[in-house]
Amino acid sequence: MVEIGYKLFTESHGAPELVKNARLAEDAGFSFLSISDHYLPWISNHGRAGFAWCTIGGVSQATSRVKVTTGVTCPLIRYHPAIIAQAAATAATMMPGRFEIGLGTGESLNEHIVGDVFPTSEPVRLDMLREAVSIIRLLWKGGMQDYSGMYYTLDNAQIYELPEQLPQIRISAEGPMSAEVAGEIGDALIHFEQKPEEVIQTFRASGGEGKSCMIETTVCYGRSVDEAKRTAYGWFPMAANKGGLN
C-alpha cells in the first residue's frame, strides 16, 4: 500500500512553524512526516537549521496519529552512535509505535563542523555506518554495555529510558553499494529520487525483501512552468547535483 508523507524541512522553517506544519499535515491526512537533521542549511538562502531533536519533541505533543522519521540522521561524526541510540529511544517513548530513525552516511556540509575529517571513501563511511547501527542495536538491548571497535568505543553505557516498541531503523541509500548495506543492516529503506528502481532492486536482493521502501521527491508549483523553475532554482538548486557531489 502506498502512503504519502510530508517533509519537515528544518532548513527553511523555524521550530515553532515546523511543529505547526506537522499538526496541519496530520489534519490534512498525510500518513507520515520526515524531518531533516542538519547543522547547516543546504544554501544560506534557506536561512534556518534548528536542532531536529528538539523539534521532534514538539511534534510528538502536537500530533497523535502520524508517523515520524528522521530523513536522515548521520551517526558517524557529529553525533556518536550512543547519543543517537538514546535520542531515538526517548523519541519513541513519546510517540509509541509511530517513531522510526532514518540513518545515513551524511555529508561533509554537516559533519565537518566538529573538526574531524569527513571520509571521502564511500566504503569507509558505510563501514562506519555498519558499526554505528551495531552499537545502537546493542544499547537498545538494555543493560550496561561496553564496545571497542574500529571507529567507536562504549564505556559502561546504558540507556535507562527504552520504549516498549523499539524504533525501526530506516537506512538511506543513493546507489547500489549503499543499497546493499541497507538491505543487510536496515529494517527499511529511504532513497532520495536519483535511481529508485536500481536501488530498490538491490535493497530487496540484499535482505530487504518485504521491507518498507520510502522515496523522497522534491516538487515545486507555480502559476507557470517558468515561474516554478525560477522558484526551484532559487530554493533547491542542489536537486540538480548527481552522484556524490552533495
Which CATH number characterizes residue 145's domain? 3.20.20.30
Our count of domains for the chain comes to: 1
Quote the CA–CA distance of 55 and 77 in Å, as a whole number.
Answer: 21
C-alpha 239: how far from chain center: 17
Q: Which domain holds residue 171?
A: 5-240
Quote the CA–CA distance of 101 and 52 in Å, as a whole number.
Answer: 12
pLDDT means per 10 residues, the chain with 246 residues, are 95 97 98 97 93 98 98 98 98 98 96 94 97 98 98 98 98 95 98 88 97 93 95 87 69
213 part of a folded domain: yes
72 part of a folded domain: yes
68 part of a folded domain: yes
- What pLDDT, on the 0 to 100 scale, is given for residue 241? 76
Q: Is 146 helix (H, G, I), strand (E, B) or coil?
A: strand
- What pLDDT, on the 0 to 100 scale, is given for residue 144? 98
Quote the CA–CA distance of 226 and 218 in Å, as a whole number.
Answer: 17
Encode burial over 16-52: b for 16+ CB neighbours within 10 A, e otherwise: eebbebbbebbeeebebbbbbbbbebbeeebeebbeb
- What pLDDT, on the 0 to 100 scale, is given for residue 80? 98
245 part of a folded domain: no
Element (H, E) at 19: helix 15-28
- What pLDDT, on the 0 to 100 scale, is given for residue 243? 63
Alpha-carbon distances of 33 from 71, 96, 146, rounded to whole Å: 9, 15, 34
Element (H, E) at 234: helix 225-235
Alpha-carbon distances of 165 from 26, 31, 92, 162, rounded to whole Å: 22, 19, 8, 8
- What pLDDT, on the 0 to 100 scale, is given for residue 1? 83
19 part of a folded domain: yes
159 part of a folded domain: yes
Catalytic residue list: 38, 107
Neighbours of 60 (CB within 10 A): 21
- What pLDDT, on the 0 to 100 scale, is given for residue 246? 65
Q: Which residues contact 225 (CB under 8 A, 6 or more apart)?
A: none
- What pLDDT, on the 0 to 100 scale, is given for residue 14? 97
246 part of a folded domain: no
154 part of a folded domain: yes
Quote the CA–CA distance of 181 and 189 in Å, as a whole number.
Answer: 10
